Amino acid sequence: MLGVYLATVPPTVGIWSSLFNLYNVFGAIAAILVISYLVYNVVKYRRREGHDEAVEERGEEKVNWRKVLFTLAITSSVLFVVELQTFNSVPLIVPPQSSDPLNIGVVGHQWSWTFVYPNGDRLVGNLTVPAGRVVILNITSTDVTHSFAITGLDVAVDANAGRYNSLWFTAPDAGSTYTIRCKELCGVGHAFMTAKMTVVDQATFNAWIQSTGGKPGS
Amino acid sequence: MDPINGGQARIMNSWLRRWLFTTYHKDIGLLYFVTSLWFGFIGSILALLIRTQLSVPGNTLLSPGSYDQAVTMHGLIMILWFLSPLAIGLANYFVPTQIGAADLALPRLNALGYWLYLAGGLMAALGFFMPGGNANSGWTSYAPLSSAQYSPGPGPTFAFAGLILLAVSITLGSVNFLLTIAYLRAPGMTFSKMPMFTWFIAFTMLQMLLAFPTLISALLMLMADRVIGTFYFTSSSGGALLWDQLFWFFGHPEVYVVLLPAFGVVAEILPVFSGRHLAERKVILGATALIVVPLSYLVWTHHMFITGINLSTQEVYSVSTLIISLPFDLIILAFIGTMTRGRISLKTPMLFAIGSILLFIIGGITGVFLSSFVLDVVFRGTYYVVAHFHYVMVGAAIFGLIGGIYYWLPKMTGRMYNERVGKVHFVLSFIGFNLLYFPMFFLIDMPRRYSTYPADAGWTGLNQLATVGAFIFALAQIGLVYNLVSTVRSGPIAPPNPWGAETLEWTSPVSEQPVSTGRDDNRMGGSGLWDSPLRAVLPIGTPHQNIGSSTGPILGMGAGGMPGGGTKGDYAHGAEHQSSRPVSLGLAAVVSVLGIGLLQYWYGLPVLFLGGAILAWTLVGWARDDLHGRFSIDELLGQRWPFHETVKLKLGMWIFLTTEVVVFGSILGSYLFIRSQVPYWPAPGSIHDIPLGLTNTLVLLTSSLTVVVAVHAIREGNQRLLLAGLCSTFILGAVFMGIKGSEWYQLFHLENAFNFTAGLPASVYYFTTGLHGAHVLAGMLVTLYLIKRTLNGGFSKENHFAVENFGLYWHFVDILWVFIFPLFYLI
């Protein structure tokens, strides 16, 4: 069961989730420690009614360098560990060396997405990709700035007029669908600028793309 | 005439005069304070509209267009017209008193700052009532969505022009505060003794000084695009990215601009209510000065991780962002350490200070998440980011500043607030806040600024929690309003130093100085119950109090309320500390901006001319005030500063020129960015006449020499040579402008008219040389003033700092041309 689950996790999701988990673990520990320290101090040293003992002399202002360095060392080590893992997660952004990637153009405009297939086909609002294959999207815009994001695949990049940005993913399961959204405010249709992504098996994809007139993507 | 009504009218008149014409730092502080709370109220209403709209999926309460306006203006108003001005209000009131200064260095500039802030805010709010509505491209105003093509109409123009006024106001304020903190500290008030609030305001002002000019540049370019049709942000040759770069170069330091005053407040409150010294004061100051402030200018690209910038840039900015979390780590631990072994008194100010720290811990740690450029791929543009920055801006900043309001309220009003209401206010705010924003950390896949969402997206429950939290948080603020109003009206009289604080504003030594006597002494005397400045500015109070014989001080005029009836009484410096010029300049700004926004209609141009006329009239009046010594307080000089200190006055000009360097740095940087993006650029000599340009360069450089002559002449006391130098400078400036004008004229009448809309090279040329020309023109106007003053015998060997300062300015404008000339004519 677990094996099946693991097998169907898209690689981009695997990278992002494990990185997020690492940050969550360290972040939660740090937050709990520091907030507990804060609350502990507030409770422990709060002034109690009736216990109005003489006011403690205000301490001399003196820098505790050992404490400062200790704090910096601990924090830096944690930051180093998580940042190292971020650097190790760069494959989320950089497409893998694949012998056979499928390149698809994406054009954002107010307020829909147009997908341009290698055979020259243009489809609005509907992206169909083959399962298990590296897909590279080259994304641009014809008007304002949009941001192309596939919910559930943990990939996104901005769409700017006059330039191409790219992202990659592999969707493992034929039959699954994803929602594509715009993440950058682009006018009144921003919330409705969605598209549907359908994953089909390679044979179906080839048949579909041939039926629309061109040769299979290569 | 009914004597009572007549008297009432006179009192009303005086009341108006006081608040319209004041240049006194406490009055202006209160104006900022009350105005910012009003803007906070407007921003909160917009926030509640947003949360109500999102409470159910598919809601149609707000149309997408209205929603976009609400989201945009909520952000702009809250950050720029509420949060920072609230801090500036407290700073106006307390920074001079904390350092023992009589007032800010340049009181009229301070008043001008307030009126420009208000003028900008009114213009931004007016946008809602225009056809097509207000700005709707998000507070970040991303290009090209913010262009005339995608956001047409006067509304967005008003909002962006309003932003320019605000940015100018803040820049003026930062010059003023830095100058004050540098030179107007009382004897003995060394930097090592300076209170933390003043320190953090100094840091804030330094950040503003270097960040806001970039915003001014970007907005001026945006306005040029919108109004005269240039192509800075609308070209597909990197226009969108250019805006991103400029905006975030301002935008990230702006986060610290919002945050640092609150840290300053917390650093005041914590030791007082813990009964201990602030722990690691030097570490806090060092970390902020050496790491936070400089590094804040080197992290902006983390807002642009998914704009398509290259990987190594992402890595560098990810690391720099991580480094900036280290000083905050030290600061927070020092704050907590201050409480260790203290005797913590959990009064309302302390509760809000602790709340501020606690919420900042969450906001800060999630900020580390966002520094990861890989995680940011998913976070960017979603509610995770919204949650993060609200924890910082609302949690840390607003909680801290509210703590400051409670802390200083007894000082500002002379009365105590209701502690129980304060505690309820805190508890409800804390609960409401967390219920409002914590759920958003789980809306990782919901994009920001969605006007509505489908039921099947799975976002409904979290959004509803947030909406409930929003209403609890909003209702909790009734506690604040109740406490403000009831304290002013009927709070029990506060002891002079209710918290046992050790900073100077509580011991009020300012009374020794004539300029700042007045209401403080009055209140301290215990009899001036009605003279609370806050009372005078709030629209409350019962009628009989307002006309009572001994209640003049309520309205800020007359001296009847002074114990002993001293004539220097309540509004100590009275008329001689008033100036009608700042508010008049504010009016000129409003009318001019109205005209610019309405240029598409026939009446736009006349309105713009009217604004220009008011501006000219005011400037002439201001100059006449100076020539005749009408504004009799020696600005900056005060009483203690002998004239041989005037060399220090140059610091003000240097600080101002720093902002100018950033303004033009951004503009020339934009030029270079555009050159790197466009495939085509006209060859040197093909459009611009190189010999003519060179001649003009020589003319302008010669005028620098004549300025040097003028300055040296007056240093020797030679008034005739000074006059000759100034006149030559004016003539050379006029020749420069004349040649420039003829160049423009010729370019406009080329076969392929090289006009404003003739493409990117033309856009950049006209904008840059136009702005430079405007600086030359401003310098020429100042020269006229100096000539007139020289003829009046207004300068001498000992007193001529205006000439010195003008010299610096003129050299700067000339040096600027030395950069502009080759960029446009030679390469």
Q: Where are the domains of chain A?
A: 2-47+63-92, 102-211
Question: Quick check: A42 and B449 CB within 8 A?
Answer: no
Question: Quick check: B329 and A71 CB within 8 A?
Answer: yes
- Give the separation between CA B426 and CA B772, rounded to whole angstroms: 51
**What's the length of chain B?**
827
For B578, list phi and psi in degrees, rounded to 5: -115, 150
Measured between CB atoms, which of B240, B283, B342 is closest to A68?
B283
A37 contact residues in B (CB cutoff 8 A)? 336
Sorted by where each begins, the domain ranges of chain B are 3-13+499-571, 25-251+584-641, 685-826
Question: Quick check: B381 and A149 CB within 8 A?
Answer: yes
> Six-digit token pair at B367?
């900020």
For B333-387, write each residue's pLDDT tens digit. Answer: 999 999 988 899 999 999 999 999 999 999 999 999 999 999 999 999 999 999 9
Measured between CB atoms, which of A30, A147, A187 is closest to B145?
A187
- Give the separation between CA B436 and CA B4, rounded to whole angstroms: 52
Nearest of B6, B19, B5 to residue B556 by alpha carbon: B19
SS (H, E, C) A91-127: HHCCCCCCCCCEEEEEEEECCEEEEECCCCCEEECEE
Distance of CA A20 to the CA centre of its chain: 9
Q: Mutation target for A interface from B59, B374, B426: give the one with most A CBs within 10 A.
A: B374
Please provide the average confidence, as pLDDT, over all residues in chain B.
87
Question: Quick check: A27 and B365 CB within 8 A?
Answer: yes
The SS3 assignment for B468 reads: helix
A49 contact residues in B (CB cutoff 8 A)? none
Kindly give the pairing relationship between strand A102-109 and strand A135-141: parallel
DSSP code string of A20-57: HHHHHHHHHHHHHHHHHHHHHHHHHTBPPTT--PPPPP
Question: Quick check: A162 and B238 CB within 8 A?
Answer: yes
For B679-690, write each residue's pLDDT tens digit. Answer: 888 888 888 989
| ipTM reported for the complex, 2 dp | 0.93
In contact, B722 and B790? CB cutoff 8 Å: yes
Of A170-174, B485-489, B572-576, minimum mean pLDDT range: B572-576
B306 contact residues in A (CB cutoff 8 A)? 147, 156-158, 165
Closest-CA distance, B591 to chain A, in angstroms, reads 30
Of B42-51, B264-273, B474-483, B524-533, minimum mean pLDDT range: B524-533
Confidence of residue B537 (pLDDT cuts 50, 70, 90): very low
Question: Quick check: B138 and A47 CB within 8 A?
Answer: no
A93 contact residues in B (CB cutoff 8 A)? 311, 373-374, 377
DSSP code string of B95-106: HHHHHT-SS-S-
Q: Mutation target for B interface from A76, A185, A196: give the one with most B CBs within 10 A.
A: A185
Q: What's the pLDDT at A147?
A: 97
| CA distances for B512 relative to B517, B639, B655, angstroms | 7, 12, 30
Q: What's the pLDDT at B572?
A: 40
Q: Which residue has the tokens 């700004």?
A: B589
For B167-219, write each residue's pLDDT tens digit. Answer: 999 999 999 999 999 988 888 899 999 999 999 999 999 999 999 999 999 99
Q: Please compute the mean of the pLDDT values over residues B449-473 and round it to a whole number.
A: 96
Confidence of residue B797 (pLDDT cuts 50, 70, 90): confident
Nearest of B593, B621, B623 to residue B608 by alpha carbon: B593
Question: Quick check: A45 and B343 CB within 8 A?
Answer: yes
Confidence of residue B622 (pLDDT cuts 50, 70, 90): confident
Q: What's the pLDDT at B659?
A: 93
B282 contact residues in A (CB cutoff 8 A)? 61, 63
- Sheet of strand A112-116, all strands in order from the earlier edge strand to the far edge: A122-124, A112-116, A102-109, A135-141, A165-169
Q: Please compute the mean of the pLDDT values over residues B395-402 and round it to a whole number.
A: 97
A41 contact residues in B (CB cutoff 8 A)? 336, 339-340, 344
Question: Quick check: A42 and B354 CB within 8 A?
Answer: yes
Q: What's the pLDDT at B6?
A: 64
Question: Quick check: B240 and A19 CB within 8 A?
Answer: no
Confidence of residue B650 (pLDDT cuts 50, 70, 90): confident
Q: What's the pLDDT at B111?
A: 94
Question: Quick check: B68 and A145 CB within 8 A?
Answer: no
SS (H, E, C) B631-699: CCCCCCCCCCCCHHHHHHHHHHHHHHHHHHHHHHHHHHHHHHHHHHHCCCCCCCCCCCCHHHHHHHHHH
Confidence of residue A62 (pLDDT cuts 50, 70, 90): confident
Question: Quick check: A187 and B361 CB within 8 A?
Answer: no
Residue B446 has pLDDT above 90, yes or no: yes
B442 contact residues in A (CB cutoff 8 A)? none
Closest-CA distance, B243 to chain A, in angstroms, reads 11
- Give the separation between CA B241 and CA B301, rounded to whole angstroms: 11
A156 contact residues in B (CB cutoff 8 A)? 306, 377-378, 380-381
Q: What's the pLDDT at B525?
A: 29
Closest-CA distance, A68 to chain B, in angstroms, reads 7
| Percentage with pLDDT > 70 across chain A | 88
Q: What is the largest CA-CA distance in chain B?
A: 83
In contact, A151 and A115? CB cutoff 8 Å: no
Query: Chain A to chain B, count of Cβ pairs less than 8 Å apart?
Result: 222
Measured between CB atoms, which of A31, A154, A191 is closest to B365?
A31
Kindly report whether the peptide bond that precedes residue B691 is cis, defined as omega within 30 degrees of 0.
Answer: no
In contact, B554 and B535? CB cutoff 8 Å: yes
> In CATH, what number does B685-826 get?
1.20.120.80
Closest-CA distance, B43 to chain A, in angstroms, reads 20
Closest-CA distance, B633 to chain A, in angstroms, reads 39
How many DSSP H helices and E strands does chain B contain? 28, 0
Confidence of residue B571 (pLDDT cuts 50, 70, 90): very low
Residue A26 has pLDDT above 80, yes or no: yes
User: What number of other Cβ atoms are within 10 A of residue B509's Cβ?
Assistant: 12
Q: Please compute the mean of the pLDDT values over residues A46-53 and round it to a whole number.
A: 68
Closest-CA distance, B345 to chain A, in angstroms, reads 5
- Give the separation between CA B724 and CA B729, rounded to whole angstroms: 9
Q: Please compute the mean of the pLDDT values over residues B211-232 and round it to a whole number.
A: 95
> Six-digit token pair at B246?
């400029």
**CATH fit for domain A102-211, picks 1.10.3720.10, 2.60.40.420, 3.40.50.620, 2.40.50.140:** 2.60.40.420
| CATH class for the domain made up of B25-251+584-641 | mainly alpha
Of A102-111, B249-258, B616-625, B812-821, minimum mean pLDDT range: B616-625
A71 contact residues in B (CB cutoff 8 A)? 329-330, 333
Residue B486 has pLDDT above 50, yes or no: yes
Q: Please compute the mean of the pLDDT values over residues B103-115 and round it to a whole number.
A: 91
| Percentage with pLDDT > 70 across chain B | 89
The percent of chain A in helix, strand and coil, each rounded to the nearest 5, is 35, 25, 35
Closest residue, chain A, to B367 (C-alpha): A27
Measured between CB atoms, which of B276, B308, B368 is closest to A157?
B308
Question: Who's near A122: CB < 8 A, 6+ residues apart?
Answer: A114, A115, A116
Measured between CB atoms, which of B138, B241, B378 is closest to A16?
B378
A110 contact residues in B (CB cutoff 8 A)? 150
In contact, B733 and B776? CB cutoff 8 Å: yes
For B734-783, write each residue's pLDDT tens digit. Answer: 999 999 999 999 999 988 888 888 889 999 999 999 999 999 999 999 99
Question: Quick check: A31 and B372 CB within 8 A?
Answer: no
Closest-CA distance, A119 to chain B, in angstroms, reads 26
Q: What's the pLDDT at B555?
A: 29
A81 contact residues in B (CB cutoff 8 A)? none
For A148-162, write each residue's pLDDT tens digit. Answer: 999 999 999 999 999
Closest-CA distance, A49 to chain B, in angstroms, reads 10
> Six-digit token pair at B380?
């960017």
Question: Quick check: A191 and B315 CB within 8 A?
Answer: no
Closest residue, chain A, to B233 (C-alpha): A144
